Chains A and B, each alone.
Chain A
Amino acid sequence: MSVLDWVRAYEKSPVGEYISSLDTFWVIIFQIIHVFSILTLLTAVIVYALYVWGAISLWEGEREGGQALTSTELILLKAAQWGLVGAVLSGVALFLTSAVHYATNQAFPIKLILIAFTAVLQFGFFRIWRVRASRVRHSDVSGFEVRHAGDGVIGWQLPKPRFAWSVRLWALGFVVLWFLVGFAGRAIGFV
């Protein structure tokens, strides 16, 4: 029995028939949750990349000996995790409302493979990084320096953490991969 046969059998089952007959209202709700989850995930990945590349400084305390991730890193990791969970759950709900339609779509398996590949890579990276966090180099962080400019605007100078090139490249790679997942998802509506 092929995967498509399983999907067809599901759609003909009482559960499948019930979910397929759900009002458009629910499909819209699932879609909105899907979009917000993807945006949460992408934003977390983008902000993390900007942070490790030194484009923005989100310093929230020194990385202590026993602390593998700073609170900034933890917030971004949690946002990415919740975004992924929301996207997968709403994606499954959307799939169940029109299973055969999605299963026969050429872009759908590409999206699934990309999601699995990127998610395993990203969360594997963070797991390894937790262990190796002490190897991430930080510049000396002594506190905020408030600067008064001549025109009255107050400026802040904040030391930026310096990350190894491997961490920066991984972060950039995740942005590219998640955007590819996003494009593959959009392609579902067009192929």
Chain B
Amino acid sequence: MSLLFDYAQQIENYPAIVAFHESLYLFPLVEGTHLLGLAFSVGILAVIDLRLLGVAFRGVPKGLLLKQLRPWLLWGFSITFVTGLILLASEASTAISNPAFLYKLAFIALAGVNAVVFEWRTRQEDLAHVKAHQIAALPEASTHQVARHATLPARSARYDQISGGVSLLLWVLVIVSGRLIPYLASHA
């Protein structure tokens, strides 16, 4: 921890980082962009999660919504990530000893794992759908084979609800722990 702390202090003391931290306009601008970038990242992700949960936009196919919103989502997360890194660099030594920040990182990591699992499963699901279509079209397809693939949509909806719920919960926790950072800084 001491080595990490020394390294964090080194980063914090870079002239460019010091100038950024002391800037009257730049620091608030980056901080504001980080917070508002959440609307492009977590906000758009919440739209997808609500669709997966079946709460909103139920008439829009899941795949279509993902395809359309993914680029905006990635842009949003890029902005949030870059501004977050800049802010972290300016307060690195205090951040790494702040429990709220560590919780925030842990929740982001878990949300990332959930997203990777969801993307992988969605890809498998797409392939399975195509296979189901192909099997159903075969004249020699058995009733058992067709029935097994026919249960895919029901299973998929259940997984989607779990993925969407977990994602929504984790990102709420990320934002809450982020808001707690200034309040827990003095206790670190």
Contacts and interface: CB of A to CB of B under 8 A. Distances in A.
B4 to A, nearest CB: 28
Q: Is the interface of B mostly helix, strand, loop or mixed?
A: helix
A55 B46 contact: no
Interface stretch (B26-34, B104-112, B139-147): B26-34
A169 interface: no
A155 interface: yes
A60 B35 contact: no
B15 interface: no
Contact of A57 (B31, B40, B68): B68
Nearest to A60: B59
A154 interface: yes
Interface in B90-139: 126-127, 129-131, 133
A1 to B, nearest CB: 33
A58 to B, nearest CB: 5
B180 interface: yes
A71 B28 contact: no
Interface string A147-191: 010001111101000000000000000000001001100110110
Interface stretch (A35-43, A90-98, A122-130): A35-43
A61 B36 contact: no
Q: Please tell me the size bucket of the interface on B.
A: 35 or more
Contact of A39 (B38, B63, B180, B183): B38
Nearest to B131: A152
A32 interface: yes
Given A39-B38, A57-B68, A179-B36, A46 B43 contact: yes
Contacts of B179: 28, 31-32, 35
Interface in A23-68: 24, 28, 31-32, 35-36, 38-40, 42-43, 46-47, 50, 55-61
B38 A156 contact: no
Interface string B35-62: 1101110111011000000001111110
B85 to A, nearest CB: 18
B64 interface: yes
A43 B133 contact: no
A186 B31 contact: yes
B69 interface: yes
Contact of B126 (A28, A57, A71, A152): A152
B72 interface: yes
B68 A39 contact: no
B130 A56 contact: no
B175 interface: yes
Interface of A: 24, 28, 31-32, 35-36, 38-40, 42-43, 46-47, 50, 55-61, 71-72, 75, 144, 148, 152-156, 158, 179, 182-183, 186-187, 189-190
10 contacts: A39-B42, A39-B43, A43-B47, A46-B43, A55-B68, A154-B129, A155-B63, A158-B64, A182-B32, A190-B24
Interface of B: 24, 27-29, 31-32, 35-36, 38-40, 42-44, 46-47, 56-61, 63-65, 67-69, 72, 126-127, 129-131, 133, 172, 175-176, 179-180, 183
Given A39-B42, A183-B32, A183-B36, 12 more contacts: A24-B183, A39-B39, A43-B39, A43-B47, A46-B43, A60-B57, A75-B56, A75-B57, A152-B127, A156-B64, A158-B61, A187-B32
